[in-house]
Structure 1
Amino acid sequence: MVDIATRVWNHKWKIDPIVRSMIDLDFYKLLMCQSIFRNKPDARVEFSLINRSSDIHLAELIDEGELREHLDYARSLSLTRGESTWLRGNTFYGKRQMFRPDFMEWFEQMRLPEYKLEKRDGQYELSFEGAWHEVMLWEIPALTILMELRGRAVLNQMKKFELQVLYARAMTKLWEKVERLRKVPDLKIADFGTRRRHSFLWQDWCVQAMMEGLGDTFIGTSNCLIAMRREVEAIGTNAHELPMVYAALAEDDAALAQAPYQVLEDWQDEHDGNLLIILPDTYGTKGFLERAPDWLAGWTGIRIDSGDPVEGAETAIAWWESRGEDPREKLVIFSDGLDEDRIIDLHHRFNGRVRASFGWGTLLTNDFMGLVPDDALRPFSLVCKAVAANGMPTVKLSDNPNKSMGPPEEVARYKRVFEVGEQTPIAVTV
């Protein structure tokens, strides 16, 4: 097992780069990339970094030259033969050859496209613009680079034994969570922590701890590289990016109203089983389900990713019942801001009523809260979102208005089209 503290103390990024592989990203990005490659190959999309935690001034913490070196190194990466063999030949969600030959031939030649980097008001403005299926692959590398460089800026001020004690405390903190979770019967939990992890080495350690401590309760990781190396399931389905871009490409209000369902029509042409998961909150869960076509009720489940998770799950249960479906056969994946207390509470409430599962993210792979002075390693909310498609701005409403984005006039239009009324703000930690 890697001695992380010593590795950090001796850090030379060319030996230990932040992004070390084209598949050091979340599995859902590859699934979505293939769908976009087939269905929207001509769409031009812009992605941009958004720091929701404006009190953390990244441009004052992170050296621009070092940031560019890591971004440039990520651009030099390509798929290795072993990684290609794993993607082409492995079984994912019970299906062999998940990735089609034409997509794999393209991906094997893929290099991350150019980026644009500027400083403004103590923050970095980092953006990527180009063919959707190419620039979308920047999202996870961009986030992991910024998150880890911020962490390194703090760790670089610490001495050798301080680092040893810090990681010993962080390991103990995580293991105590694992010990609590393994006492919960019928629990199913996956690692969703790539995008805001403390570091690759730490995420890898967390996955190993979950494998040993939770056994069959741990069902896999979203990180493709770790899944390949540790021989565990790669977990993931789809994200808000798909309906946001489809909606931006809609030509009028009628097409806009149908865009979230058109996404899922295209998705089900390629996938079945546990990949048929609805993410309904992009433009409001309640309205999405009320207007949903009947065929969506037959899908495997729903992911709850914003708003009150209890309210979201209860809304889904009531919807399934109204469509003649048995909620006990449906999968509900909770994935928003989870830690062990919320996981346990939600499991106790919904176990037996649905097939509950949990995607544990930032507070699995980046919980160093309270371990250094001034809480300088606390996790923060950094995202990289599609902000425009073919020159039109994207919009996200969410079930939590604190997670919404888009120009005010477009947000108002989307609220009208999707009949979204008053929403209750919920504080966003991660």
Structure 2
Amino acid sequence: MVDIATRVYNHKWKIDPIVRSLIDTDFYKLLMCQSVFRNRADTNVTFSLINRTKSIRLADLIDQGELREQLDHIRTLRLTRGESTWLRGNTFYGKRQMFRSDFMEWFESLQLPPYHLEKRDGQYELTFEGKWPEVMLWEIPALAVLMELRSRAVMGPMGKFELQVLYARAMTKLWEKVERLRAYPDLRIADFGTRRRHSFLWQDWCVQAMTEGLGRSFVGTSNCRIAKSRDLEAIGTNAHELPMVYAALARDDTELARAPYDVLSDWHDEHSGNLRIILPDTYGTKGFLNRAPDWLTKWTGIRIDSGDPAAGAETAIDWWTSRGEDPREKLVIFSDGLDEQKIIELYTQFAGRVKPSFGWGTLLTNDFRGLVPDDALAPFSLVCKAISADGQPTVKLSDNPNKAMGPADEVARYKRVFGVGEQEAMEVVV
């Protein structure tokens, strides 16, 4: 096992690459990329970095030259033969050849497109423009680079023994969480922590700890590179990006109202009925489910990613029941801002009523809260989102208005079209 503290202390080279592989990304990104490659390959999009935690002034912490070196290094990466073989030949979710030959040939020749970077008011403006399948693959590595450079900046002045103690405390903190979780042997938990991890080495350590500590309760990781190297299941389906871009491309309000369901229709065709998990909250969960076509009730389950998670699960249960489905046969994946106490609380509340599962993200792979002065390593909310498609702005409403994004006039239009009324604002921690 890597001595992480010593490895961090030895960050003295001109560049120590943070992202060393194109598959150091979330599995759902590759699944979505294949769907986009098939259905909307010529769509032009712009992605932009958004720091929701304004108190973290990234441009004051992270050297611009070092950030450019890391981003430039990512543009030199190509899919290796071993990575290609793993993607082409592995079985994912019980399906062989999840990735088609035409997509793999494209991916094997891919170089990520250029980026635009500048400083403004203590923050970095980082944008990516181009064809959707290419640009979308910048999201995860860009976030991982910025999060790890922030960690390096904070830890830079620390000595070797101070780092050893810091990581010993962080390891103890995580292991105590694992010990509390393994009191519930029927839990199903996956690592969803790539995008806002403390570092790659720390995420890899966390995954190994979960594997040993939770056994069969740990079902896999969203990180493809770690899944490959640790012989674990790669976990993931789809994200808000798809309905956001489809909606932006709608020509009128009728097409806009239909866009979230068009996404899932294309998804169903792409995967021949596999990976049938609904993400309903992009424009409000209740409205989405109320208007949903009957064929969606047959899908495997729902992922809850904003708003009150218990309320979201109750809404899903009521919907399935009203449509003649048995909620006890449905999967509910909780994935928003989870820590072990919330996981235990939700599991206790919903076990036996649905099949609860948990995607544990930032507070698995980046919980250094309370371990350094001024809490300078505490996680924060950094995202990289599609902000336009073919020149039209994207909008996200969410079940938590503090996660909403888009121009005010378009937000108002989307709320009208999707019938979104008053919403309860909740703190966005990560």
What TM-score comes out, normalization by structure 2 length?
0.99
Question: 2:300 is matched by which residue type in structure 1?
Answer: T
Q: Which moved more, 1:163-172 or 1:176-185?
A: 176-185
Q: Which moved more, 1:285-294 or 1:5-14?
A: 5-14
Per-residue CA deviations over 1:293-345 (Å, capped at 9, x if unaligned) read 00000000000000000000000000000111010100000000000000000
Shift of 1:272: 5.1
Backbone CA RMSD of aligned residues: 0.8
Which residue number in structure 2 is paired with residue 236 of structure 1?
Answer: 236
Q: Distance in 1 between matches of 2:388 and 2:331?
A: 32
Q: Distance in 2 between matches of 1:120 and 1:277?
A: 39
Shift of 1:147: 0.3
> Is contact 2:76–2:111 with CA below 8 Å preserved after alignment?
yes
> Is contact 1:307–1:426 with CA below 8 Å preserved after alignment?
yes
Question: 2:112 is matched by which residue type in structure 1?
Answer: L
Question: 1:220 is matched by which residue type in structure 2?
Answer: G
Q: Which moved more, 1:87-96 or 1:177-186?
A: 177-186
SS in 2 for 1:46: strand
> Is contact 1:273–1:300 with CA below 8 Å preserved after alignment?
no
> Is contact 1:191–1:360 with CA below 8 Å preserved after alignment?
yes
CA separation of 1:421/1:223 partners in 2, compared to 1, >3 Å: closer, same or farther?
A: same
Per-residue CA deviations over 1:170-215 (Å, capped at 9, x if unaligned) read 0000000000001113100000000000000000000000000000
Which residue number in structure 2 is paired with residue 68 of structure 1?
Answer: 68
What aligned pairs does 1:98-177 form with structure 2 within 5 A after superposition?
98-177=98-177
> Is contact 2:15–2:69 with CA below 8 Å preserved after alignment?
no
Question: 1:403 is matched by which residue type in structure 2?
Answer: K
SS in 2 for 1:270: helix
Q: Distance in 1 between matches of 2:149 and 2:238?
A: 27
What aligned pairs does 1:189-268 form with structure 2 within 5 A after superposition?
189-268=189-268
Number of matched residues?
Answer: 430
Shift of 1:14: 6.2
> Which segments of 5 or more consecutive residues in structure 2 lack a partner in the other structure?
none
Per-residue CA deviations over 1:27-79 (Å, capped at 9, x if unaligned) read 00000000000000110000000000000000000000000000000000000
Give the 4+ runs in structure 1 shifted more than 6 A. Answer: none
Q: Which moved more, 1:9-18 or 1:131-140?
A: 9-18
Which residue number in structure 1 is paired with residue 370 of structure 2?
Answer: 370
Q: Distance in 1 between matches of 2:307 and 2:251?
A: 29
What aligned pairs does 1:348-367 form with structure 2 within 5 A after superposition?
348-367=348-367
Which residue number in structure 1 is paired with residue 312 of structure 2?
Answer: 312
- Percent identity of equivalent pairs: 80
Which residue number in structure 2 is paired with residue 423 of structure 1?
Answer: 423
> Which segments of 5 or more consecutive residues in structure 1 lack a partner in the other structure?
none
SS in 2 for 1:269: helix
CA separation of 1:116/1:19 partners in 2, compared to 1, >3 Å: closer, same or farther?
A: same
Q: Distance in 1 between matches of 2:265 and 2:14?
A: 44
Q: Distance in 1 between matches of 2:275 and 2:204?
A: 24
SS in 2 for 1:325: coil
Shift of 1:353: 0.6
Pair 1:270 & 2:270 matched: yes
Which residue number in structure 2 is paired with residue 410 of structure 1?
Answer: 410
Per-residue CA deviations over 1:335-373 (Å, capped at 9, x if unaligned) read 000000000000000001111000000000000000000
Q: Distance in 2 between matches of 1:34 and 1:173?
A: 38
SS in 2 for 1:275: coil
> Is contact 2:286–2:315 with CA below 8 Å preserved after alignment?
yes
Q: Distance in 1 between matches of 2:74 and 2:416?
A: 41
Which residue number in structure 2 is paired with residue 33 of structure 1?
Answer: 33
What TM-score comes out, normalization by structure 1 length?
0.99
Question: 1:167 is matched by which residue type in structure 2?
Answer: Y
Q: Distance in 2 between matches of 1:272 and 1:237?
A: 14
Which residue number in structure 1 is paired with residue 53 of structure 2?
Answer: 53
Which residue number in structure 2 is paired with residue 3 of structure 1?
Answer: 3
Pair 1:18 & 2:18 matched: yes
Which residue number in structure 2 is paired with residue 321 of structure 1?
Answer: 321
Shift of 1:13: 5.6
Pair 1:299 & 2:310 matched: no
Q: Distance in 2 between matches of 1:366 and 1:45?
A: 30
